[in-house]
Amino acid sequence: MSETFLPRRTAQRPAAPPPPAFPPSLAGNPRLPYPAIGTELAELRLQIPGVQGSVLGGVDGLRITHDVPPALDPDDLAAMAAATFGLGRQVSLRLGQGEFQQSTVRNQAGYFSVYAVGPQALLSVVGADAINVARLHLHAPPVAARLAALLAQV
């Protein structure tokens, strides 16, 4: 029996993927640069071997968009990124070290990294154990900055 840490939906998923669920502040905004955001996420996966996927989500834990395989649940990743952000923010406030920028969790078989994308969004990246984490930390912050600029256009 496997442990489940986040609640699971009981309804069947539709055959076609549903449209992206945007946070209320972005919902229905026709100016959202969705194709450009998708390109940034896909290029991150292609540029860094071992990146399994990434999710752009709000600090509230809601998914904006994603580039993950079907085996990963983008909504769970967005929620975990928000939880990681909450802890990282509390640590940074308590230590007086400024705003949250990045956090990485290493597991037995891989990594989960979360990067701040402006004040209201997060980029989470799932990587295999063989990923070059230094390379990820080199490439992901500029991607997060470009995503922040794209979201600021909204």
**pLDDT for res 38:** 86
For the chain, what percent of residues have pLDDT higher than 70?
Answer: 78
Does residue 136 surpass a pLDDT of 50?
yes
**pLDDT for res 20:** 44
Comparison of pLDDT for 70 and 153, the residue scoring more = 70
User: 133-152 and 34-47 helices cross at what angle (nearest 10)?
Assistant: 170
| Whether 63 contacts 74, CB under 8 Å | yes
pLDDT digits (tens, 9 = 90+) for 89-107: 999 999 999 999 999 999 9
Does residue 47 surpass a pLDDT of 60?
yes
**pLDDT for res 18:** 46
pLDDT digits (tens, 9 = 90+) for 9-46: 555 555 544 444 444 444 444 444 568 888 899 999 99
Burial of 74 (0-12, 13-18, 19+ CB in 10 A): buried
What domains does the chain contain, in order, with CATH numbers? Answer: 34-152 (3.30.450.30)
Give the C-alpha distances (Å, rounded to integers) separating 23 from 3, 29, 141, 151: 29, 11, 22, 12
